[in-house]
């Protein structure tokens, strides 16, 4: 859990933190690899949603350098297998994600990131 | 004209039957036609037209409410009429008369046919002249006959009383028994490794999953996932599931491995739970829209788990509360490190926000499937129309009636491919308070529920504590 597909879709949402708030940086992460079902159609359909550079960087941070810097024109099986592994089979179980802009820390425990912690600071300014 | 098939439904969730058939037909790209006269949806028998037998089998294997599907031969208020139609349909069954082994299956709805008359019924089909051998255990074909009686609940009589006095009788060749129906047992909440008091019953969770058109290669999201009831059924049909909840404890339970993952593992679908995240959906971290093929959810309405959103109720008469504790000061490591203050989230504005969120997060043609609890006597169709926004259209609306209140399973489709900005979750403030706006019956559902649905007096509700 906290697969790289998820990491690629989450941005910091602390009130007022609206630029340079993605991708979140990993800190002290504990990684596990777990097999997932390979579905080439799903992958092809999802590529347009990905921030490719962020994905490649996140994978490199975790020691996986299998992805090219740009998505290839030909989405052959070999490439899709690599993408499959990076997107769906790398799980971050413990650690944290940190906003590159406001440094807010999102803790991950037992595979579940707590994205609700973003609210505690500024919320007092907003309501009341 | 297509081929005619007799569908026999489970006697439950009447209003869900046709939406389920249409959803599975859409998923597999075929049409279902309803020959006239219009079918009375409260009756568990329906004759439908399909282009091929393959389609009939697909429906029987995926629809939770289907008990039997037959190639249709005849029906009647009396057997004479049924036999006449069956004779006229000779070309459908003549191929089986030579040397096909067979048996008859005589059954009744709301009644038990006595053994002796069963024999008479079978004999009345002698004109079909089946030459093959009768094989009770493993016949090549089963000829099925269903008598439909009026509901006798509330009357006491002998089980055979009124025998033969049926409303209508149906006949055909059995194609398939509904093989999805046993999933209701498979997903039984009480046998689940993890569940809670918000868990949705298995049958409804399955029906909801079918409304989403769940299938391999799809990504489906539950933004109020709680203990994950619908995640298991959607994942069972092959979809990948993403879940979030404001309260991490609902998803985790008490053990180290999150409860939702434990239950998903029991069903062999843990690998399809993409991720679970803790956040308030009204302040969500999604980087972009058009991510999901469907959103499936049972939104909070404050009866079991409170409908909450982060922030505070305005308390003009009171001094601000002390600041809550800092994060990471948790003494119980399995709990969320920090639970921010919350305020109630009124149902009608929640639902408007949910539709807007779905328009943002769904891909074009994607579906939003959710339950709307409402007050039975006050509900109007306008309640649903007024929750829609541009680009979103209602596909189905099925009532599960509990008496004074009920809940409606609403299926909405995104019919636009235009990109919309993320919603601001301010529908409560945005609706003009000029007295002209329509007030839906589900507004303030929580308060109405706890008042036992007395007619709305214009009273001020005090502060409530949610659990
Ligand atoms: C009716 S329950 C859903 C139950 C779920 N279908 C299950 O199987 O357990 C509603 C859920 O919404 C959550 N919730 C309430 N307000 C929320 C919000 N603003 N954002 C996200 N989740 C919220 C509650 O914690 C609760 O788990
Ligand atoms: Zn930030």
Identify the residue whose C-alpha is closest to ligand 1 atom 18.
Answer: B280
**Could you give the CA distance from residue B235 to residue B266 in angstroms, rounded to a whole number?**
12
Looking at CA atoms only, how far is residue A34 from chain B in angstroms?
A: 8
- pLDDT, residue B297, reads 98
Look at residue A20 and tell me whether its pLDDT is greater than 70. Answer: yes
| Residue A63, domain member (yes or no) | yes
pLDDT tens digits, residue range A32-48?
999 999 999 999 999 99
The alpha-helical segments, DSSP class H, found in B115-258 are 115-123, 183-186, 202-211, 229-236, 248-252
**Could you give the CA distance from residue B9 to residue B31 in angstroms, rounded to a whole number?**
19
Phi, psi of B17 (to 5 degrees): -65, -55
Number of domains in chain A: 1
| Residue A42, domain member (yes or no) | yes
A113 pairs with which residues across the strands? Answer: A108
**Quick check: A70 contacting B, CB < 8 Å?**
no
**Among B367, B356, B362, B462, which Cα is nearest to B411's?**
B367
Tell me how long chain A is. Answer: 128
**Among B294, B274, B298, which Cα is nearest to B212's?**
B294
The tokens for B281 are: 């959906």
CB of B302 closer than 6 angstroms to any ligand 1 atom: no
**Could you give the CA distance from residue A29 to residue B383 in angstroms, rounded to a whole number?**
48
Cα B213 to middle of ligand 1, angstroms: 22
- pLDDT, residue B303, reads 58
| Residue A91, domain member (yes or no) | yes
- pLDDT, residue B307, reads 63
- pLDDT, residue B454, reads 73
- pLDDT, residue B308, reads 67
- pLDDT, residue A68, reads 96
**Among B159, B153, B146, B75, which Cα is nearest to B112's?**
B159
Between CA B379 and CA B248, with CA B423 as vertex, the angle to 5 degrees is: 85
Q: Are B391 and B414 in contact (CB under 8 A)?
A: yes
Q: What CATH number has the domain bearing residue A59? A: 2.20.25.10
- Residue A18: which region, alpha, beta or left (left: phi > 0; alpha: psi -120 to 50)? alpha
- Per-residue pLDDT 10s for chain B (467 aa) are 689 999 999 989 999 999 999 999 999 999 999 988 777 888 999 999 999 999 999 999 999 999 999 999 999 999 999 999 999 999 999 999 999 999 999 999 999 999 999 999 999 999 999 999 999 999 999 999 999 999 877 666 677 788 999 999 999 999 999 999 999 999 999 999 999 999 999 999 999 999 999 999 999 999 999 999 999 999 999 999 999 999 999 999 999 999 999 999 999 999 999 999 999 999 999 999 999 999 999 999 865 555 667 665 444 343 334 333 333 333 333 345 455 566 778 888 999 999 999 999 999 999 999 999 999 999 999 999 999 999 999 999 999 999 999 999 999 999 999 999 999 988 777 766 667 788 998 998 888 888 887 764 444 444 444 43
The percent of residues above 70 in pLDDT, for chain A, comes to: 91
**Quick check: A124 contacting B, CB < 8 Å?**
yes
- pLDDT, residue B317, reads 40
Looking at CA atoms only, how far is residue B342 from chain A in angstroms?
A: 11
Q: Return the beta strands (E) in chain A as ranges.
A: 25-33, 90-98, 105-109, 112-113
Average pLDDT, rounded, for chain A: 91
| Residue A128, domain member (yes or no) | no
Domain assignment of residue A23, given as a range: 2-120
Report the residue among B208, B222, B248, B250 best suited for mutation to probe ligand 1: largest number of ligand atoms under 8 A from its CB: B250
pTM, two decimals, is 0.90
B273 CB neighbours in chain A (<8 A) are 1
CB of B353 closer than 6 angstroms to any ligand 1 atom: no
Give the number of the ligand closest to the Cα of residue B371.
Answer: 1
Q: Which domains does chain B have, with CATH numbers?
A: 3-177 (3.30.2130.30), 193-430 (3.40.50.150)
| Closest atom, ligand 1, to C-alpha of B310 | 19
- For the sheet with B45-50, list strands across it: B45-50, B3-9, B66-76, B168-177, B141-148, B102-109
Q: Are B65 and B59 in contact (CB under 8 A)?
A: no
Looking at CA atoms only, how far is residue B17 from chain A in angstroms?
A: 30
- The sign of the torsion formed by the CA atoms of B371, B372, B374, B379 equals negative
| Residue A75, domain member (yes or no) | yes
Give the number of the ligand closest to the Cα of residue A24.
Answer: 2
Q: Note whether ipTM > 0.90 here.
A: yes
| Residue A10, domain member (yes or no) | yes
Straight-line distance from the first to the last Cα atom of chain B, in angstroms, rounded to the nearest whole number: 57
């Amino acid at each position: 859990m906290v697969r790289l597909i998820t990491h690629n879709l989450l941005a910091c949402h602390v009130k007022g933190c609206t630029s340079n708030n993605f991708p979140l940086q990993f800190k002290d992460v504990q990684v596990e690899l777990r097999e997932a079902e390979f579905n080439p159609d799903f992958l092809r359909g999802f590529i347009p949603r990905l921030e490719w550079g962020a994905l490649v960087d996140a994978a490199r941070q975790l020691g996986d350098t299998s992805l090219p810097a740009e998505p290839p024109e030909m989405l052959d099986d070999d490439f899709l297998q690599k993408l499959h592994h990076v997107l769906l089979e790398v799980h971050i179980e413990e650690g944290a994600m940190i906003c590159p802009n406001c440094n807010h820390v999102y803790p991950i425990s037992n595979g579940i990131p707590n994205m609700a912690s973003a609210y505690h600071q500024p919320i007092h300014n907003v309501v009341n | 004209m297509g081929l005619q098939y007799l569908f026999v439904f489970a006697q439950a969730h009447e209003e869900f039957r046709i939406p389920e058939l249409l959803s599975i037909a859409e998923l597999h790209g075929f049409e279902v036609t309803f020959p006239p006269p219009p079918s009375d949806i409260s009756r568990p028998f329906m004759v439908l037209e399909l282009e091929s037998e393959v389609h009939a089998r697909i429906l029987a294997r995926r629809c939770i409410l289907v008990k039997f599907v037959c190639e249709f031969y005849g029906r009647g208020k009396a057997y004479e009429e049924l036999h006449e139609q069956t004779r006229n349909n000779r070309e459908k069954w003549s191929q089986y008369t030579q040397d096909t082994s067979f048996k008859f299956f005589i059954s009744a709805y709301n009644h038990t046919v006595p053994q002796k008359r069963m024999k008479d019924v079978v004999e009345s089909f002698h004109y079909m002249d089946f030459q093959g051998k009768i094989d009770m255990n493993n016949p090549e074909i089963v000829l099925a006959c269903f008598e439909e009686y009026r509901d006798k609940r509330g009357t006491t009589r002998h089980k055979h009383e009124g025998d033969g006095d049926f409303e209508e009788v149906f006949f055909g060749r059995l194609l398939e028994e509904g093989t999805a129906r046993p999933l209701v047992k498979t997903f039984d909440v009480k046998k689940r490794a993890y569940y809670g008091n918000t868990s949705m019953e298995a049958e409804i969770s399955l029906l909801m999953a079918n409304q989403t058109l769940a299938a391999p290669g799809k990504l489906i999201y539950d933004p109020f996932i709680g203990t994950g009831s619908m995640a298991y059924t959607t994942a069972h049909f092959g979809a990948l599931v993403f879940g979030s909840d404001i309260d991490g404890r609902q998803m985790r339970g008490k053990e180290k491995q999150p409860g939702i993952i434990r239950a998903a593992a029991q069903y062999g679908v843990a690998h399809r739970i993409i991720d679970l995240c803790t956040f308030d959906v009204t302040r969500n971290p999604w980087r972009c829209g058009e991510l999901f093929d469907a959103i499936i959810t049972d939104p909070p309405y404050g009866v079991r788990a409170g409908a909450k959103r982060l922030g505070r109720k305005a308390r003009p008469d009171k001094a601000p509360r002390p600041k809550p504790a800092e994060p990471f000061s948790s003494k119980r490591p399995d709990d969320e490190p920090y639970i921010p203050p919350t305020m109630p989230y009124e149902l009608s504005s929640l639902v408007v926000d949910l539709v807007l969120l779905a328009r943002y997060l769904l891909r074009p043609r994607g579906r939003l499937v959710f339950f709307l609890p409402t007050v039975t006597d006050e509900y109007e169709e306008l309640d649903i129309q007024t929750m829609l926004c541009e680009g979103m259209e209602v596909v189905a609306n099925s009532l599960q009636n509990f008496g004074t209140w009920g809940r409606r399973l609403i299926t909405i489709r995104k019919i636009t491919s235009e990109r919309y900005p993320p919603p601001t979750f301010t529908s409560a403030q945005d609706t003009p308070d000029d007295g002209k706006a329509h007030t839906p019956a589900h507004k303030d559902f929580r308060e109405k529920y706890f008042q036992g649905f007395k007619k709305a007096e214009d009273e001020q509700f005090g502060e409530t504590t949610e659990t």
